[in-house]
Structure 1
Amino acid sequence: MTPDRRRTRQGTHGTRVLIAGAGIGGLTAALALDAAGIEAEVVDSARVLRPLGVGINLLPHAVRELTDLGLREALDATGLSAEQLVHFDRHGNRVWGEGRGIRLGYAWPQYMVHRGELQMILLAAVRERLGKDAVRTGTAVLGYEESPGGVTVRLRDQHSGAESEESADVLVGADGLHSTIRRGFFPDEGAPRWNGVRLWRGVTEGDPFLDGRTMAVLGTNLRTKFVCYPISREAADRGRALLNWLGEITIPRDELTETADWNRPGRLEDVLPHFADWTVPWLDVPGLIGGAAEILEYPMVDRDPLPFWSRGRVTLLGDAAHPMYPLGSNGGSQAILDARALAFELARADSAAAGLAAYDAARRDAVNAIVLANRNNPGDTILNTVAERAPDGFDRVGDVLTPEELAPLANGYQHITHTDDLDRTSPWAVTPDQRRAR
């Protein structure tokens, strides 16, 4: 970017932030920083950003932040608000459930949406508000060097191979599970931590099930688990359902030989045999798996919590800071909360380093606790018990589990999805008139 072009986009706060990674966290960070009057630019190694992936849930605390950023209408037009989360055995018998979003008492809904479509909503908003050149694709971060006055970032053009340097006041690593920025902090960390579970994911159009707004979790990871929920307002308006599904299987003595990649293609013949004999009265599980245009395979991995996210003028955000098992619908939601906190702390700090240190202190311990809680999901233990006691199904869950045995399931979700931090006015989002007045 030329100096003249950079000046036309400079924020009112006088700080310039370079964000590595144009995923959910990186793009939300750009929007949040802009709302706080801080200049931001995003680079991503992908040559073209496409709506890849499958479904994602946005918890109320994340929806609240995106609402403050003016994206509620787009979310409502794209995704669906979740009404309830329900656990079933593999035969479709209800074990436990609770409301989601507004039905759980929050002022904001929980949205079920296609991850790629959410990314495109964020991308369009960044380019509209920050300028069409605010996101540079095909640009990989190779490394960085700090100085008292800023950060010099080494970049590579993925098309030509040409390398260049760019200066910024702050560098944010929102570059995912295999983060280059994180590796600069912890070069000897090694590969992600795998728990032996493999996931196959897909999206299939079908008939709506139950109330059309349910997140259904069936079976148990001791044997086979299946998760399914609708993710498309457009399909619902046609009387259909675009169903995101996930097959979760623990394979004894399996070894992880591939690099974990959310977009790694999977094979029908690897996943379908595990579910071919499933018969659920209200959901065609084998049909959904067989009807997917594309199947993705992913090992359930995370990383150990870090002792710090920020050092000097460099920090981490989202999966680069806290990759977690995809339980409780919290990975993307926590990245959005990271973005809000980063913008807030930078906007009120006396220096970039102080702002990043405050962001680290505000977010790290709380999110590290969620990472660890996701490793010990009490729901799986309870559903394993159901499968052992009633392998052929049941009529009443009370015949299988006592209320005391069920209680940890609800308590477990309180630890990884519920929040009390939703009664405040956003400290950093400002209106366009307020921003112009700064």
Structure 2
Amino acid sequence: MIMDHGLVIVPAGAGAGKTHRIKTQLSDWIKRGVVRPERILAVTFTEAAAGELRERIRSGLLADGLVSEAMAVERAYVSTIHGLGLRLLTEHALAAGASPQPRHLGDAERDLLVRQALAHAKSLDPIKAEPERFGYEANWQKGETVEDSLRSRVLSMIDLLRGLGDKGRDRGLLAPALSRLDTIYGTVLSDPTAARNALEAAIQTMVATFPAGGMAQITAKTNVEKLEKDLALFKRVHRAPDVLNRDWKLWNDLRSLFVSNRSSKTPEGYDDLATAIMAAADVLPVHPGPLADAKLHLSCLVSCAQEVMEAYESRKKALGLIDFADMITGAERLLRTDPAVRQAVLDEIDCVIIDEFQDTNPVQFALLWQIGAYATRTLLVGDVKQSIMGFRAPTRACRRLWRRRTQIQPSRSIATGDRRRL
């Protein structure tokens, strides 16, 4: 368990006593009169978990003989994080610039609006022109076309960026991502043209020397098939050498060719030519071409996602609609930009409990932190082993942000004996 003034963090895995910790902490606060049951704000991530959390709180108080307090828990606000966001936007609709009675957008309607915006997006045109170049293929087993595959990737990028809140629409988001690609890729060839010409020359020599491939002396069917595939690669380059300017999968295939083994011998001289081709193609990991394509691909995806998001947001606002992501991003923006609203929320609660904290994405974390960091008492519970986003990083962030806040407002950090005890 980690304690920092009014912040209590419980990394609670299976068998670690998470339920017991919540019950005992709340009972202690309530017995000492620093928390009133009806002024508890508790948040989790599913309706079932919210109901279970309320029952945990109630049963803990009943076990300690606090019957009236247990009954008062019914008036506490225990909900999912989306329920919390919707409540904030509804109760403070004027400050949020939103409808006091927004209509929730169903999944089918959401997909329709997004697909309409995507159909008019121009940022994706370079990928649409050559989708296979960027790794998009049809999956006939799933009944997916190349267009379906590309659309799915864009929708995933949109979900990812919306998970960043307002930052997801920041045009400056792309530059550090591209810089990160450069760093990961590392040093590149100084003369990629020479590398490309060397590979073409090695292949042309192979085709001129062995126009039918190296299969003449091979009897094993499996090895014949391998040599046939290699020959197809050679002929593809022979017919259209420009393919080496953009087909990095072809380069990669040329890095691994069949050569003689103990059971199968190719014609004399074949292995030397094949080895020369593989050596020429083996510069691929430092060739700047794949990096350039990767950066173009990322640029198109991010720009397209942001373009679609802008059109989607405008359309929703015009129609008075709201989706699940809006409940989080809108509420986070409201609390971050309007301290009066945030204070009004804090004035109604004595403590904040956030269960399954490891499940927060960045914008969910930001929303909860707008309340948790300023509340008099905050209890965070999460399980490292069940984390998708990584509970340890938010935990460190919590402690770091909490210290920063208490340095700015020291009177709040040590104002009561209860806070000193924590």
Tell me the TM-score normalised to structure 1 length. Answer: 0.23
Which of the pair has the greater relative contact order for Cα pairs under 8 Å at 6+ separation?
2
Tell me the TM-score normalised to structure 2 length. Answer: 0.24
**Greater strand share, 1 or 2?**
1
**Greater helix share, 1 or 2?**
2
Bigger Rg, which one? 2
